Amino acid sequence: METTPNMNNEFNQGENTPPTQAPEEKSSWGSAIGIILIVAVIIIGGLYFWGQKIDERLSEYEGQDITVEDILNAPDSQLEALSEEQSTSTDIADIESDLDMTDLDNLDAELDAIEAELGA
């Protein structure tokens, strides 16, 4: 079977065209790694500055020799006042009178003093 020139041309044209390829999917590994590195640098920087702030606060108390025992053993005037004013009775009327006599207006005064000391 002889091939005609038209058939050869058809074959030649098919050989000259590049084969079609499926489009390649681009992976985003580079951008994901870049984002992870940026977030890690931000976190490390934040921890560094947070540590510096803690060091500054601790340096304020460095000259003082205050221990946990000193704080726990310090006299508490509010607790002593409550102990003196309240009765040990378990009757409902006595408990209600103890509650009425208890001054809860300055309950957070100590917290305000602590915040003022720490400069928060």
85-107 per-position pLDDT tens digit: 777 888 898 888 888 877 777 77
Domain assignment of residue 116, yes or no? yes
Residue 33: pLDDT band by 50, 70, 90 thresholds?
very high
Residue 75: pLDDT band by 50, 70, 90 thresholds?
confident
SS3 for 3? Answer: coil
Residue 45 identity = G
What residue numbers bound the domain in which 40 lies? 32-74
pLDDT value, residue 109: 76
Question: What is the reported pTM?
Answer: 0.34
For residues 37 and 69, state if they share a domain.
yes
Of 119, 117, 120, nearest in space to 66 by CA: 117
pLDDT value, residue 110: 77
For residues 55 and 91, state if they share a domain.
no
Domain assignment of residue 22, yes or no? no
The pLDDT > 90 percentage for the chain reads 18
- What mean pLDDT value characterizes the chain? 77
**In this structure, what are the phi and psi dihedrals at residue 74, rounded to the nearest 5 degrees?**
-65, 140
CA 77/CA 85 separation, integer angstroms:
12
